[in-house]
């Protein structure tokens, strides 16, 4: 696939290197979210929207997803934070919202911690696509706002296990949805790294390892994350509870049968996360 087909799930904002806002999203084979019954309140209470101010629209615009892992910490993708003209002051976080931009009550971000192995020039494809955001004040947990449990570093997610990814991104690369709209979620099967790597190599001149050990693949034809979902959580049911096993990172196309979505593997970064998050 050409570079144009590769999507990193964040927005290209007017005046900042892109002319068309692009948001990643969840699709099914009909081009709409498979779980199209709108997410009920409290279903994914850890889902957050990471925002950046758009001067033209005079709006704190959705850039990426993220997940609340502590009262004062959000887990997201490093590529969502890599613009050099941003500091933490340039980001805001919205928690507890189902319908994007509906009665925003944004929280300031005071610190961005990118994983030291994240390479800006390689971006998400280089791996270590993990970042932490410190919130200015702890959020109050409620029916709509909750924390997602993190897995043990030793957790192995089996192939074909069905997990869920959520976000406000595109319903397909060709059909971005109008704003505001409801949080969507879709069930996706885990794809083993070896199989996933082979599929990506088949359409690449790169004969090396494309899907690295710190990545996780999930998705099938019509069941995938897409542009605008970056940084959001992939969760699986494990031992009777939800745990976040992946962070939406990158992929070729959206919902393509040959290219599952690629996620940062949370288990690879548990010890790093715990260096910062209580």
Q: Residue 267 in contact with residue 238, Cβ under 8 Å?
A: no
Catalytic residues: 79, 129, 230
263 pLDDT above the threshold of 60: yes
| Cα gap 132→186, rounded to integer Å | 24
Of residues 244 and 54, which shows the higher confidence score? 244
Q: Does residue 10 surpass a pLDDT of 50?
A: no
Closest CA to 78 of 26, 9, 171: 9
For residue 251, list its beta bridge partners: 7
Is a pLDDT exceeding 70 seen at residue 69? yes
Greater confidence (278 vs 214) lies with 214
136 pLDDT higher than 60? yes
Q: Taking 60 as the threshold, does the pLDDT of residue 147 lie above it?
A: yes
What's the rounded Cα separation, in Å, for the pair 228 and 250? 10
What's the mean pLDDT in 189-210?
A: 90
Dihedrals phi, psi of 224, to nearest 5 degrees: -165, 165
Please give the distance of CA 256 from its chain centroid, rounded to a whole number.
18
pLDDT band at 224 (very low <50, low <70, confident <90, very high): confident
Strands 215-218 and 261-265 come out as antiparallel
Predicted pLDDT of residue 79: 95
pLDDT at 88: 80
Q: Which of 100-114, 143-157, 221-235 has the lowest mean pLDDT?
A: 221-235
**Higher-pLDDT residue of 226, 149:** 149
pLDDT tier at 169, thresholds 50, 70, 90: confident
User: What is the structure's pLDDT at 17?
Assistant: 27
Residue reference for tokens 């992939």: 234
Give the per-residue pLDDT at 203: 79
Q: Is the pLDDT of residue 198 over 50?
A: yes
For the ranges 31-40, 171-180, 181-190, 264-273, the lowest mean pLDDT is seen at: 31-40
Q: Which has more confidence, 84 or 96?
A: 96
Q: Using pLDDT thresholds of 50, 70 and 90, give the confidence band for residue 176.
A: low
CA distance 26 to 187: 10
Residue 25 has pLDDT above 60, yes or no: no
Residue of higher predicted confidence among 215 and 42? 215
Mean pLDDT for 108-130 is 95
pLDDT recorded at residue 86 = 59
Q: Which domains does the chain have, with CATH numbers?
A: 47-135 (2.40.10.10), 161-267 (2.40.10.10)
Helix (H) or strand (E) holding 61: strand 59-70
CA-to-CA separations, 181 to 28, 101, 138, 167, 176, in angstroms, rounded: 17, 8, 26, 11, 11
pLDDT bin (cut points 50, 70, 90) of residue 24 is: very low
What does the mean pLDDT of the chain come to? Answer: 83
pLDDT score recorded for residue 178: 54
Q: Which of 228, 266, 250 is nearest to 26 (CA)?
A: 228
Residues constituting the chain: 278
């Amino acid at each position: 696939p050409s570079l144009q087909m590769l999507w990193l799930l964040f927005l290209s904002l007017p005046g900042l290197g892109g002319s068309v806002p692009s948001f990643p999203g969840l699709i099914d084979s009909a081009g709409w979210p498979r779980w199209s019954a709108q997410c009920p309140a409290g279903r994914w209470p850890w889902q957050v929207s990471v925002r950046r101010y758009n001067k033209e629209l005079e709006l704190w615009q959705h850039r990426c997803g993220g997940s609340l892992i502590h009262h004062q910490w959000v887990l997201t993708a490093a590529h969502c934070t890599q613009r050099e003209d941003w500091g933490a002051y340039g980001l805001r976080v919205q928690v507890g919202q189902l319908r994007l931009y509906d009665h925003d009550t944004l929280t300031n971000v005071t610190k961005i911690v990118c994983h030291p192995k994240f390479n800006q020039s390689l971006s998400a494809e280089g791996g270590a696509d993990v970042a932490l955001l410190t919130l200015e004040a702890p959020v109050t947990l409620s029916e709509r706002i909750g924390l997602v449990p993190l897995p043990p570093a030793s957790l192995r997610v089996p192939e074909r296990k069905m997990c869920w990814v959520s976000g406000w991104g595109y319903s397909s690369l060709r059909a971005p949805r109008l704003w505001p709209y409801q949080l969507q979620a879709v069930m996706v099967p885990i794809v083993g790294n070896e199989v996933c790597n082979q599929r990506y190599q088949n359409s690449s001149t790169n004969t090396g390892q494309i899907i690295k050990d710190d990545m996780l693949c999930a998705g099938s034809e019509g069941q995938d994350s897409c542009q605008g979902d970056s940084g959001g959580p992939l969760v699986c049911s494990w031992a009777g509870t939800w745990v976040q096993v992946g962070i939406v990172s990158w992929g070729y196309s959206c919902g393509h049968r040959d290219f599952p979505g690629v996620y940062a593997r949370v288990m690879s970064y548990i010890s790093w996360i715990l260096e910062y998050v209580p």
